[in-house]
Amino acid sequence: MHRYWRSLDYKQWDELRDVFCADAEADWGGDWKASGRQGIFDFLHANESRSDLRLSHFGHNPAITVLGRDEATGIFKLEDWVTIGGATVMKSFGQYRMRFVRETDGVWRIKDLKLAYDYQERTDFYIDGVRMKLTPALD
């Protein structure tokens, strides 16, 4: 999870692509869904790559269950903070439920990602009475 959050927070796109299995599934809730390594990467890059967008993910209380030599599941408490142009646009907390696999190259990657938010606090921005679109996923 650290590689995933660090890659997002610091916009390390090459590393982010390698965090997921080729056939991974991701569900962040609502319409925030993507399939496959490239599809997940494309979704995250489209929504998180703005130069003025800053993210901070805090993962707490990991509960890891080893299912076998090359498979594990995990539950992680999430707290995140999203700013655009220095202004907070979202603060939230929730829970990730994950499945990880160790692939033939020996690297553990995310196979399944599911996030359920318990709370989201969002701030909309308006210019001349028109709500500004922040990112495709936050619209």
For residue 37, tell me if it sits in a domain: yes
> Could you list the residue range(s) of the whole structural domain that residue 78 is in?
2-122
For residue 138, tell me if it sits in a domain: no
Q: How many domains does the chain have?
A: 1
- pLDDT score of 50: 87
Model pTM score:
0.88
For residue 21, tell me if it sits in a domain: yes
- pLDDT score of 139: 54
For residue 101, tell me if it sits in a domain: yes
For residue 133, tell me if it sits in a domain: no
For residue 139, tell me if it sits in a domain: no
- pLDDT score of 94: 96
For residue 136, tell me if it sits in a domain: no
What are φ and ψ of residue 49, in 5° steps? -90, -5
CATH number of the CATH domain containing 47: 3.10.450.50
Q: Which of 11-20, 61-70, 71-80, 115-124 has the lowest mean pLDDT?
A: 115-124
For residue 60, tell me if it sits in a domain: yes
Buried b (16+ CB within 10 A) or exposed e, 98-117: bbbbeeeeeeebbbbbebee
Instruction: Please answer whether residues 26 and 33 qualify as being in contact, where contact means their C-beta atoms are separated by less than 8 angstroms.
Output: yes
